[in-house]
């Protein structure tokens, strides 16, 4: 347990809470005294995380939520507010890479099917929009709140990786700023966390790949992959009252990748 609890009395809602960054954020929030609604489409994983938080003395409950479906958002937020009496924090961590399993850099624009584009956009961009849309009313009722969008450095720079992933994260970057302006009058802060290369289920294969993992490592001045906790602690700051004057901001946690300019371009046979 943390010695100083920074989210005492707050009710938090985390998407993608079954794995990686979302799971660790839910755990850290639990350690810091928040009541946490853990959501995901992976019910077994999400239940396990909620159980872990409760086992460690925190407060948490799991609920199924596919973030691309508006009716599920309506029900999940209403249930969370009914359970904990309020909503103070939303972390939008759910996401997919849309990567083709046999090629860690795919698909490039001319290989990208409309189906993949729409699937990636529906989770990574539409899902975040729907979360903000449905969190605003209960946050206004609570007198304010904090929405933290887990974006990506791939929303800031280009690479050989999935173009729809880049586009979806770019959309969230812009949505974050617009929402920050629109809800500042209600003391609802909206910020983005920008992870670099973090070891999670999403990146397991790429980071283990000698070429693709090596390129990412080489592009990281701190010379290691980040861990989910590195990102969760950024979410904790933005969720807490320590960040009371922070909105529309971009917290980059990438081991220096973007400061050094990204070097992930691979040689192409057809260029």
Single out the segment in contact with ligand NAD by CB under 6 A; choices: 76-84, 92-100, 102-110, 176-184.
92-100
Interacting positions 118-147 with ligand NAD (CB under 6 A): 123
Query: Could you say whether residue 198 binds ligand NAD (CB under 6 A)?
Result: yes
Interacting positions 95-114 with ligand NAD (CB under 6 A): 95-96
Q: What gap in Å lies between CA 158 and CA 266, rounded to an integer? A: 13
Q: What gap in Å lies between CA 7 and CA 34, rounded to an integer? A: 5
Query: Could you say whether residue 35 binds ligand NAD (CB under 6 A)?
Result: no
Local structure of 60: helix, strand or coil: strand
Q: What gap in Å lies between CA 72 and CA 11, rounded to an integer? A: 19
Contact pick of 126, 191, 203, 220 for ligand NAD (by CB under 6 A): 203
Query: Could you say whether residue 22 binds ligand NAD (CB under 6 A)?
Result: yes
Query: Could you say whether residue 68 binds ligand NAD (CB under 6 A)?
Result: yes
Question: How near is the Cβ of 72 to ligand NAD at its closest, in Å?
Answer: 8
Residue 82 in contact with residue 75, Cβ under 8 Å? no
Instruction: Give the 3-state secondary structure percentages of the chain, helix then strand then coil, rounded to 5.
Output: 50, 15, 35
- Of 149 and 247, CB closest to ligand NAD: 149
Question: How near is the Cβ of 167 to ligand NAD at its closest, in Å?
Answer: 12
Annotated catalytic residues are: 165
Query: Could you say whether residue 250 binds ligand NAD (CB under 6 A)?
Result: no
Assigned token pair, 147: 């929405």
Query: Could you say whether residue 16 binds ligand NAD (CB under 6 A)?
Result: yes
Radius of gyration of the chain (CA): 18
Contact pick of 31, 34, 37, 67 for ligand NAD (by CB under 6 A): 67
Question: How near is the Cβ of 73 to ligand NAD at its closest, in Å?
Answer: 10
Please tell me the total number of residues recorded for the chain in this structure: 271
CA trace torsion 170, 176, 182, 188 (10° rounding): 170
Q: What gap in Å lies between CA 28 and CA 32, rounded to an integer? A: 6
Query: Could you say whether residue 170 binds ligand NAD (CB under 6 A)?
Result: no
| CA angle in degrees (0–180, nearest 5) for 99-203-116 | 15
Query: Could you say whether residue 66 binds ligand NAD (CB under 6 A)?
Result: yes
Nearest residue to 93 via CA among 140, 53, 38, 135: 38
- Of 19 and 247, CB closest to ligand NAD: 19
Local structure of 2: helix, strand or coil: coil
- Of 1 and 174, CB closest to ligand NAD: 174
Contact pick of 152, 164, 176, 247 for ligand NAD (by CB under 6 A): 152
Query: Could you say whether residue 42 binds ligand NAD (CB under 6 A)?
Result: yes
Q: What gap in Å lies between CA 146 and CA 102, rounded to an integer? A: 38
Question: Can you give the binding site for ligand NAD, defined by CB under 6 A?
Answer: 15-16, 18-22, 40-42, 45, 65-68, 93-96, 123, 150, 152, 195, 197-198, 200-203
């Amino acid at each position: 347990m943390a010695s100083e609890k920074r989210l005492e009395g707050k009710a938090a809602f985390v998407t993608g809470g079954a794995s990686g960054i979302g799971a660790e954020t839910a755990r850290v929030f639990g350690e810091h005294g928040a009541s946490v609604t853990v959501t995901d489409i992976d019910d077994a994983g999400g239940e396990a995380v909620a159980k872990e938080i409760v086992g460690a003395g925190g407060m948490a409950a799991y609920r199924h939520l596919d973030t691309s479906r508006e009716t599920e958002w309506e029900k999940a937020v209403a249930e969370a507010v009914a359970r904990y009496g309020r909503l103070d924090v939303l972390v939008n961590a759910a996401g997919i890479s849309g990567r083709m399993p046999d090629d860690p850099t795919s698909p490039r624009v001319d290989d990208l099917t409309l189906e993949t584009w729409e699937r990636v956009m529906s989770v990574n961009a539409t899902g975040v929009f729907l979360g903000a849309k449905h969190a605003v009313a209960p946050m206004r009722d609570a007198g304010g709140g904090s929405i933290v969008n887990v974006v990506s450095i791939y929303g800031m720079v280009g690479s050989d990786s999935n173009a729809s992933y880049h586009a979806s994260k770019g959309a969230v970057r812009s949505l974050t700023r617009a929402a920050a302006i629109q809800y500042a009058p209600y003391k609802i802060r909206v910020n983005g966390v920008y992870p670099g290369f973090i070891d999670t289920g999403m990146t397991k294969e790429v980071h283990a790949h000698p070429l693709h993992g090596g390129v990412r490592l080489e592009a990281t001045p701190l010379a290691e992959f980040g861990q989910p906790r590195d990102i969760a602690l950024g979410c904790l700051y933005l969720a807490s009252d320590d960040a009371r004057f922070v909105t529309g901001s971009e917290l980059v946690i990438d081991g220096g990748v973007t400061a050094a300019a990204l070097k992930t371009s691979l040689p192409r046979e057809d260029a």
